[in-house]
A = this chain, B = another copy of it.
Amino acid sequence: MQVHIISVTFEAAMTLSPDTPPLAFTDLADAVDALRQRGLRVSTPRRLVLEALFAAEGPVSAEQIARSSSLEPTSVYRNLEAFEQHGFARHVHLGHGPGLYVLVGHGEREYLSCERCGAIRTLTPDQLDPVRDRIRELFGYRARFNHFPVVGLCPACAGEREPGEAADV
């Protein structure tokens, strides 16, 4: 079973990302273990950044982490960079703002982002595979939406119903 999970993670990385393959971990203790196994020292700032990433419900900026953890922004950035290099986190570009960071322990996530209201919809890669397949058929590009999302108008801003949503009677 463990072997199966590792194989899926590896495949997803090969399909989606030219970057460091994501590591699998389930909770903070597990992530701390994984950090140590990679030979990374688990300093107090590093643990605080990790806690902030676990506490965040979605992608979060380095500035938000610095505020919530009372750490220096430079320390937060340094740790986020180490997390990215070792496959613990990745940054996502959602709109015009700074890059946002997210843990990848539960597997990759991809994003749809509304450029009018800023709404972010988080998806698993298999949900976007039909879109990825269409792009590959048409242009040979292997698209991924975990680093740069699909940008457009969300159903509310586009004045449309979400697929499957009942029509007003």
The residues of A with any CB-CB pair to B shorter than 8 Å are 18, 93, 112-116, 121, 123, 127, 130-131, 134-145, 147-155, 157-158, 160-163, 165
Q: Can you tell how many copies of this chain the complex includes? A: 2
Considering the chains assembled together, what is the distance between the CA atoms of A141 and B116 in angstroms? 12
A144 with B138: CB separation less than 8 A: no
Residues of B within 8 A of A139 (CB): 112, 121, 123, 155, 162-163
A141 with B131: CB separation less than 8 A: no
Residues of B within 8 A of A18 (CB): 115-116, 153, 157
Residues of B within 8 A of A157 (CB): 18
Residues of B within 8 A of A134 (CB): 130-131, 134
